[in-house]
Amino acid sequence: MMQLFHLSQSKDSSLQKQLREQIALAIMKGSIPLDIPLPSSRKLAEQLNIGRNTVVLAYEHLLDDGYIVARERRGYFVNPDILGGQVSASLRPTEEEYKRPDWERRFKVQPTAQTNIVKVPDWQSYEYPFVYGQFDEKIFPSVNWRECCRDAASDTALNDWASDNLDNDDPRLIEQIRTRLLPRRGVWASPQQILITVGSQQSLFMLVQLLLDQNSVLGLEEPGYVDVRNIASLHKCQIKPLAIDDGGLIVDDQLKGCDLIYTTPSHQCPTAVTMPIERRYELLNRANSDDFLIIEDDYESETNFNGKPSPALKSLDTSDRVIYIGSLSKTLAPGLRLGYVVASERLIQEARALRRLMIRHPATNNQRATAFFLERGYYDALMMNISRNYQARWNAMNRALNKYLPGSYEVPTFGGSCYWVKGPKELDALVLQKLAQKESILIEPGNVHFSQENSPKHYFRLGFSSISTDRIEPGIQKLAAIIQKACR
């Protein structure tokens, strides 16, 4: 029995949980015979060198959960009922009996063939992680979040969210988005105009599926957000690259012929430039005159620390042509995967029906925990903390880049959490990425954001959301030395 379990030496409660989980796994795998009693609590405690009470509590939990049964004067045995319904391993076909399909012939689309942003899984182990879109666990209010998750699991809250809600969202979260988040961007909406999504990715996928087909034209900023391009290509619509400058998307005749335009006016992705208010009005006027719709991805809208932010494009829209996408993943945690769409009530009605076919709705326990987090003011406190930390890092990045890579960048006027850097013409950022990684530096090559075949290779993105301020300058100094050596 002892050989089945390997416990890390930690708190008793953690040991008890580990032991309980490992015994349950061993039972389900059939590693513990049905006719032989489990070791006594005293014996197993001695074998594993842990407290007897830890084993007693683990056995009691397993008994309550139905994994084991107590037989008088004989001890604990595996409950045979827990194994009921499992298919016998002897029924598994041998390797020779398999006749596999030709998958390559059957695929109608192959997303794996697309060019995607690749994230290093163990980015936390690097000394200088200039990665974009990750969070800093030192900033995240884990105590407050655990409180909200605990309260979301209370009997009262559970009765609200645990039933089948079909296609409905948590009304408390909708209300917090409607009254707390959107007004900051100048956007006012009814509950019927808001839909919760599994992050902005799902928002974009549903909108492309609802609004475009093979005869439609989607206008995308160049360079731009690669996942929108990949989503659109799966739906076979025509993609039109749209030029940008230091004011974001250029509003001129290049927009003609588009049915839908995706834009990131507050933080152009990936360059981080901001569209001025005058151009926002020009874009809305063009949408009316040329009869196209606009998806406004307002990511990182609240990480502004350089003056008053421009109002969202949606807040200026008087013709219901702007579809607003917001995300809580960038501010709370990327793994939470919660976003929202604000649009015409009629569009939300169809998006809700489509979402129901996909997932019904995002997990309502997460929705309720997030609603509590917003209601209790924890989100506001988090945003102040993020802004304070990001501003220090933003300034440190500016100083370091100006010192070691002068002239390679424009300071993001709106804030955000990254810098877009233009290296020497002869630089290949893909090569730089590999060289930097050997020196414990992570960067993101920029070529993935261009749609043209012969895209420039000397751009790269440096995120600062997950790197401490004191590591920014030494990291940039080392990176500059690598660039200088690579371009000799």
**For residue 301, which of 415, 467, 180, 462 has the smallest C-alpha distance?**
415
Q: What is the pLDDT of residues 131-168, one digit of tens each?
A: 998 888 888 899 999 999 999 998 888 877 888 878 89
Residue 421 is inside which H or E element, if any? strand 418-422
Sign of CA dihedral 123, 125, 129, 135: positive
Give me 269's structure tokens. Answer: 């992705």
Predicted pLDDT at 412:
82
Rounded Cα–Cα distance for residues 235 and 208 (Å)? 8
Predicted pLDDT at 11:
55
Predicted pLDDT at 78:
92
- CB contact at 8 A, 299 and 313: no
Which stretches of the chain drop beneath a pLDDT of 70? 1-13, 86-97, 306-307
Sign of CA dihedral 3, 9, 12, 16: negative
Predicted pLDDT at 411:
83
Predicted pLDDT at 96:
65
**For residue 427, which of 482, 483, 475 has the smallest C-alpha distance?**
483
Rounded Cα–Cα distance for residues 380 and 377 (Å)? 5
